[in-house]
């Protein structure tokens, strides 16, 4: 038995080492890449994103019934607000009404009512208690896309008269409801709900239109209930993009009707998502103000495609990148993309305008060693790098034909610069120089810096995440306008349903505030009490956010104590 145990341990260590070699962490690669002038990948001008690590304080204590003091205990902090010092209870007959009434908002009101008023009222509020929140939406039919107006205003008088929430769209109203929900507290002494700091006036809108979290469902499968609860948690900090990294080297969990053999690469028959599952998730997210953006990575990170469709891969012993010499490769891509998009703008299973095509970490050596691909390169007078661009451009052509805008990781721009279509959005995961030079070349950019905003880095503190400035090193306003926002990334090598929430939260909230709040809301010490409070709010709502002050993510509390002190 001892021998068997040693053998099992040896195999486990080998498997771990092999998976580590393949896993997709998008870490900085010191190989020199040919790219546009000004880019030298091996020696970046900015070796790391600008961050400042500060030791967390533990001097925050929980005081039951204490009035909320300035600053406003809302996360993320609104763009502007003013407040007084009056406390008002809620009437036992408090209601939320809408103008006009429509199904999406009616459902949201019911959901927030359950979330906010989670204790039984036993007290008798005074006659000047708050009786109503009136929600006014100018354009209830506005679609949820990158350019959607998410602004809102909230007015709560100190007289007990009706509070008013105004927004141009349903999605702005959702953000206003979230802010309102975070202002309400339950007083256990009086047995009633109340709001402090009245009169209160909030005028709010996001700094960036794209504020996302990437969730990797290839390296570990995440169940539908977990994904739904994950989206719930995103909405609580006003994230608005669920970046669904659906497949990768390790597995292909989507069961396509048009290409059913793709899901042969799922981990098991139960670790799959059907077409209807995806449609349901997209709608669930939309009702919470969250767009769903899919990613299918080409030409690299597609080894799982070879399980069901080996004809699109160069050889059984050399499976990546996918084979550029075979029309079957592009036929498969077109069939898959058409199924997802419906083939036309803003239709299909995922109506999102943006479509992520990956394009990163492409090792071209396979194409130069497999005889079939090598012969094709020679016949077409192409280098392997030419073929890389050929696949990227053909994928772009497919996506444009379907009314979508492609996104690629920064390797595509670093290799091909201004020769790729200028409408391409560049998703930068490396250093600030890539943001600067891509925007200098006129490309729109998303930022997801490896290290500061990679949630799989368990030693990265929330302070480091908070201190990252998306405009770092960029003073030109034209370039700044090309930065659409960014994402925190949850690569799932060591994450599944058992630990995803305490790995993501509360640290992802630090990124959420830097993407929502004005640029000058950047003081980590000033933010800390609100951040600690938000972690406790997540816990009260059933989201397993880890202790905020732990130096290592997803670790347990160090001992007994109140939520706010951990």
Q: Active-site residues: which are they?
A: 361
- Nearest-10 Cα torsion for 510, 512, 516, 521: 0
User: Cβ(213)–Cβ(515) under 8 Å?
Assistant: no
User: Cβ(357)–Cβ(408) under 8 Å?
Assistant: yes
Question: Residue 355 pairs with which residues in a beta bridge?
Answer: 406
Distance, in Å, from the CA atom of 38 to the CA atom of 425, rounded to the nearest integer, reads: 19
Which residues are CB-contacts of 55 (< 8 A; sequence separation ≥ 6)? Answer: none
User: Cβ(239)–Cβ(214) under 8 Å?
Assistant: no
Considering only CA atoms, which of 170, 173, 171 is closest in space to residue 181? 173
Distance, in Å, from the CA atom of 209 to the CA atom of 291, rounded to the nearest integer, reads: 11
Q: What are phi and psi of 400, to 5 degrees?
A: -60, -40
Structure tokens at 171: 């999605």
3-state helix/strand/coil string of 341-387: HCCCCCCCCCCCCEEECCCCCCCCHHHHHCHHHHHHHHHCCCCHHHH
- Nearest-10 Cα torsion for 38, 39, 44, 49: 100
Distance, in Å, from the CA atom of 196 to the CA atom of 67, rounded to the nearest integer, reads: 6
Q: Give residue 41's Cα distance to chain centre.
A: 26
Structure tokens at 127: 């006659």
Q: Give residue 189's Cα distance to chain centre.
A: 39
Indicate the SS3 state at residue 356: strand
User: Cβ(115)–Cβ(109) under 8 Å?
Assistant: no
Written as one string, the DSSP assignment of 211-237 is EEEEEE-SSS---HHHHHHHHHHHHHT
Distance, in Å, from the CA atom of 364 to the CA atom of 150, rounded to the nearest integer, reads: 43
DSSP 542: T
Distance, in Å, from the CA atom of 411 to the CA atom of 359, rounded to the nearest integer, reads: 7
How many CB atoms sit inside 10 A of residue 371's CB? 9
Considering only CA atoms, which of 432, 429, 476, 427 is closest in space to residue 50? 432
């Amino acid at each position: 038995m001892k021998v068997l145990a040693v053998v099992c341990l040896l195999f486990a260590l080998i498997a771990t080492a092999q998976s580590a070699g393949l896993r997709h962490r998008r870490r900085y690669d010191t190989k020199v890449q040919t790219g546009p002038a000004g880019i030298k990948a091996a020696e970046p001008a900015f070796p790391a994103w600008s961050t400042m690590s500060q030791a967390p304080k533990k001097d925050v204590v929980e005081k039951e019934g204490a009035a909320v003091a300035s600053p406003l205990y809302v996360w993320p902090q609104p763009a502007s607000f003013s407040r007084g010092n009056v406390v008002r209870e809620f009437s036992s007959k408090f209601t939320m009404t809408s103008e006009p009434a429509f199904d999406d908002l009616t459902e949201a009101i019911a959901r927030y009512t359950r979330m906010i008023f989670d204790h039984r009222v036993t007290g008798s509020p005074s006659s000047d208690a708050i009786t109503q929140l009136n929600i006014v939406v100018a354009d209830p039919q506005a679609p949820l896309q990158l350019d959607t107006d998410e602004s809102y205003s909230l007015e709560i008088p100190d007289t007990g008269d009706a509070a008013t929430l105004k927004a141009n769209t349903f999605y702005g109203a959702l953000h206003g409801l979230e802010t309102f929900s975070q202002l309400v507290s339950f007083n256990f002494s009086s047995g009633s709900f109340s709001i402090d700091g009245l009169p209160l006036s909030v005028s709010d809108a996001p700094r960036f239109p794209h504020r996302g979290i990437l969730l990797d469902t290839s390296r570990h499968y995440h169940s539908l209930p977990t994904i739904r609860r994950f989206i719930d948690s995103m909405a609580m900090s006003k994230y608005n993009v669920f970046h669904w990294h659906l497949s990768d080297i390790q597995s292909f969990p989507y069961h396509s009707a048009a290409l059913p053999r793709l899901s042969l690469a799922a981990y098991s028959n139960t670790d799959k998502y059907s077409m209807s599952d995806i449609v349901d998730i997209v709608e669930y997210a939309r009702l919470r103000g969250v767009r769903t953006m899919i990613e299918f990575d080409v030409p690299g990170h597609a080894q799982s495609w070879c399980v069901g469709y080996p004809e699109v891969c160069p050889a059984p012993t050399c499976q990546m990148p996918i084979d550029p010499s075979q029309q079957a490769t592009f036929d498969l891509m077109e069939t898959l993309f058409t199924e997802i998009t419906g083939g036309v703008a803003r239709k299909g299973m995922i109506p999102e305008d943006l479509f992520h095509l990956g394009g990163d970490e492409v090792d071209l050596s396979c194409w130069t060693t497999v005889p079939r691909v090598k012969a094709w390169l020679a016949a077409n007078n192409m280098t392997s790098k030419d073929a890389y661009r050929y696949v990227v451009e053909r994928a772009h052509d497919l996506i444009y034909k379907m009314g979508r805008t492609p996104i690629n990781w920064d390797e595509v721009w670093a290799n091909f610069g201004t020769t790729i279509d200028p409408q391409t959005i560049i998703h930068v995961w490396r250093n600030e120089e890539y943001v600067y030079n891509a925007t200098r070349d006129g490309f729109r950019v998303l930022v997801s810096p490896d290290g500061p905003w990679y949630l799989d880095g368990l030693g990265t503190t929330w302070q480091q995440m908070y201190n990252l400035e998306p405009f770092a090193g960029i003073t030109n306003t034209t370039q700044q306008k090309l930065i659409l926002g960014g994402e925190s990334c949850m690569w799932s090598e060591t994450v599944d349903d058992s630990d995803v929430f305490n790995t993501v939260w509360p640290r992802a909230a630090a990124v959420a505030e830097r993407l929502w709040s004005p640029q000058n809301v950047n003081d980590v010490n000033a933010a800390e009490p609100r951040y600690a409070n938000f972690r406790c709010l997540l816990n009260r709502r059933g989201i397993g956010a880890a202790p905020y002050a732990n130096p290592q993510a997803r670790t347990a509390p160090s001992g007994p104590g109140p939520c706010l002190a951990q």
